[in-house]
Structure formats: C-alpha cells, structure tokens
Amino acid sequence: MDAVDDISTARRWLILGCSLLAALTTTSVVSGVAYLIPSLHTDAGLTLTQASTLAAVPTVGLMAATFPWGILLDRYGERRILLVSLTITLAGAGAAAVAASVAASYVVVGGALLIGGLGSGAANGASGRIVVGWFPAHQRGTAMGIRQMAQPLGIGVCALTMPVVAASHGPAAALAIPAVVTAAGLVAVIVGITDPPRRGAAERIGETVAPRPNPYRGNSFLARVHLVSMLLVIPQSMLWTFVPTWLIVAHGWSPAGAGLLITVTQVTGALGRIVAGRWSDAWMSRMRPIRIIAVAGVASMFALALADWLDSPWAPALMAVATVISVADNGLAFTAIAEFVGPDWSGRGLAVQNTGQHLVVAATTPLLGALIAAVGFPLAFAVTALAPLAAAPFVPRDRAREPGELMDA
C-alpha cells in the first residue's frame, strides 16, 4: 500500500470529491429526463409509454458505450478519458436543451440525449478506479460509499429543479440543468483529478510485462455479483423514474412538493450509501451486507405496494424508505468488483457491471411504464419486489484476489 501514501490525506479526499462530481454528471444526464415525464405526459401530449421511452434514451447510449470506455480507461488512465468523455457529454446535453428550445422534434432531442448518454459512459468506472487506486482496503467501502453518493445526489438535484423549471419555463429550460452540472464536473476533472498509481498491475521481467489473467475465468463470483446487481437495480429504477409521476399525477402533489420529498429521500439515500460502505469496512465483507439489503428491499417494496393499494397516508414515507434501501448496495458491489479484478481489469469489470445495470434499466423502463398504465402503481410496486427476492439467493460469498484484501466470509 506504499503507493497510496504518495499524496497527502487532504489531496486524496479532494480527488474523491472531484470524482464524485464527475460521476454526478452521468446521473444528471442519464436520469434527469425522467423528471420531465409528468410535463411531457400532461403538457406535451406524449403518452406515458412514449415519455418513458424518451427518458430511457440516454441510458441506451450509456449502456452502449460503457464497455468501450472501460477498455480505454484500462489503457489510458482516468484523467485523460474523463476529459474526453465529459466533453462529449456536455455537447450532447447542451444540444438537447438547444433542440428543445427551438421546438425541434423529440426525435432530434432524443438523438442529442443519446450522444450525451454515449459520452457519460466513462465517469462511473473512472471514479470507481480512482477510489480503489487511492484508498487502502480498510477505507475503500466508506470512500466508495461517498463516491456512490453521486447517483442519489444527482437525482436529488434533478428532482428539486427540473419539474419546477419545466412547470414554469417548459422542458427546454429544464434540459439545460444537466448541461450545467456536466460543465461543473468537467471543471472538477481539470482542476482536481490525478490518476492513481498502477499498484500491482503487472510483474516485470526485464522489459516483459506479464498482465493478470482474465478474472472471469475459473469462478462464478463476478457473474453472480453482476446478476445480483442487475436484479437489485429494478426497484431502484422504478422508484427513481416513476415516483415523480406517482406523486404528481396519481396523488396530486405539486411539482415543488414532490421535488422536495424526492430530494430529501435522495440525500438520505446518499448518506445511507456511506453507512453501508462503513458497515462493509467494519465487517470486512461486501457481500453479507448486500444479502441483507436485498431482503430488506423485498419487504419495503411489498409494504409500499400494500400502503398504496390501501391509499394509506404512510405511502410516501414507505416510498422514501424503499428508495433508501434500493440504493444502498451499489457501492458495495462496485468495491467488491474493483478489488477482485485488480487495476489491469477494473475498467472492464466495472464497465460490465454498469452495462448490465443500465441494460436492465433501459429494457425495464418502458415495460414498467406500460405496466403502470395497465394495472396501476400498487400492483407494479408489488411486481417490482420480486426482483430483490430473486436476487438474494444468488449473492456470493466474499472472495479475495490478493493478500490483505477481503477474506472468504
């Protein structure tokens, strides 16, 4: 771990903060459009399925580009790739806002959002590599929990601002918000990101580099982590995408009130990720907390479905609880994958993780929208609870790739 001590503690945490902001751009660009679904549905005349499909377009771009970005990260490092990717993201997000402001068709807007999604595919993997590269094992869960705050904080920013701006100034003005966030993330990369040392990346014999073998061969650990994460992202996607519509359209909340509740929930979820990370550091286990989180996810989603079916006033509070639980596992899985595959493969390993999750989000968002339109929110919440129920038995035991890392639990 000597290389980790090459920089000061303050510098290490500054790099973490900048990587968090870089990752926040991905959430804002990819997930922000979901907070325009009520406006697109009620004001622009799109059906719920059409609006949901438009909201899924950036996710399609993200999914398509994440693995190529991961290969480039493994080859060229974090800072250089982040500069390129965030520049593309900013171009796409800005073009979407401009296209909407001149009343271009939603096909054109969707094309710009696709470009933004394609550019955003590097930020999550790069920031995960930065955490594993600059923090020792006993701090990585906590540090990754802080980095993983980017998702709920990005959702909170979008939820607090985009519905209100759309209601008062139209969707075009609201689409400018992800572009502004991306610009801030690009500045953070320029100012604060330093590539971590490639500790243990290869063994050198003279001038010959012996790379690590493919970590996917010979065991099922990574495949099971990916599968579990793909299942656990389904309730997260449901809650992040359709809760604004649930509150505003189904329950008559104002955009400002819905945005405030969602923002408070997302901030709480962000703090919950830090708690989950600290929990995993204390247990020196990433998988056991994930197994508990999956079981809690089943209970919380069924409770929300029942409360909504009974039209209980407790339903919004149960939604908040379910949302916090649904985001708690992400940082743990990310950390476990990066620790297991090592720096030679972390770009690709995290890219597979992200691609799998975003594939599920892109595929299920229109399906969930159609399900809600057909049977209503309560039954759709209950169906979503089946995903963490299926995930729990597949959570693997902890695995260690190097001495000093996690041991079998």
80-112 per-position pLDDT tens digit: 999 999 999 999 999 999 998 887 788 888 899
Tell me the average pLDDT across 368-374: 91
Tell me the average pLDDT across 145-173: 85
Per-residue pLDDT tens digits for 210-232: 566 888 888 899 999 999 999 99
Are the C-beta atoms of residues 262 and 149 closer than 8 Å to each other?
Answer: no
The secondary structure of residue 154, as a DSSP letter, is H
Domain containing residue 314: CATH number = 1.20.1250.20
The secondary structure of residue 135, as a DSSP letter, is S
The secondary structure of residue 3, as a DSSP letter, is G
Per-residue pLDDT at 46 exceeds 80: no
Residue 205 in any domain: the answer is no
Q: Count CB atoms within 10 A of the CB of residue 284.
A: 16
Could you write out the DSSP letters of every residue in 160-204? HHHHHHHHHH-HHHHHHHHHHHHHHHHHHHHHH--PPP-TTSEEE
The token duo for 155 is 């959702």
Gap between the Cα atoms of 9 and 288, Å rounded? 29
Residue 156 in any domain: the answer is yes
Residue ranges making up the domain that contains 270: 2-198+219-394
Residue 406 in any domain: the answer is no
What's this model's pTM, rounded to 2 decimal places? 0.77
Per-residue pLDDT at 196 exceeds 90: no
Residue 207 in any domain: the answer is no
Per-residue pLDDT tens digits for 323-346: 999 989 988 998 899 889 887 888
Residue 403 in any domain: the answer is no
Tell me the average pLDDT across 366-378: 91
pLDDT of amino acid 266: 80
Gap between the Cα atoms of 329 and 277, Å rounded? 9
pLDDT of amino acid 133: 84
Q: Count CB atoms within 10 A of the CB of residue 44.
A: 16
Closest CA to 4 of 149, 124, 128, 130: 130
Q: How many domains does the chain have?
A: 1
Closest CA to 353 of 372, 371, 332, 328: 332
The token duo for 199 is 């500790």
SS3 409: coil
Gap between the Cα atoms of 10 and 16, Å rounded? 10
Q: Reduced to 3 DSSP states, what percent helix, strand and coil does the chain have, rounded to the nearest 5?
A: 80, 0, 20
Gap between the Cα atoms of 144 and 147, Å rounded? 5
Residue 96 in any domain: the answer is yes
Per-residue pLDDT tens digits for 105-140: 888 888 999 999 999 988 888 888 888 888 887 888
SS3 403: coil
Per-residue pLDDT tens digits for 266-297: 888 888 888 998 999 888 899 999 999 999 99
Residue 360 in any domain: the answer is yes
Gap between the Cα atoms of 13 and 302, Å rounded? 39
Residue 90 in any domain: the answer is yes
Gap between the Cα atoms of 121 and 58, Å rounded? 10
pLDDT of amino acid 312: 93
First to last CA, the chain: 23
Pinpoint the alpha helices (H) of 32-122.
37-42, 48-76, 78-101, 106-119
Q: Is 252 exposed, middle or buried (0-12, 13-18, 19+ CB in 10 A)?
A: exposed
Per-residue pLDDT at 399 exceeds 80: no
- Residues contacting 97, CB < 8 A, separation 6+: 172, 173, 175, 176, 179
Q: Is 169 exposed, middle or buried (0-12, 13-18, 19+ CB in 10 A)?
A: exposed
- Per-chain mean pLDDT for the chain: 86
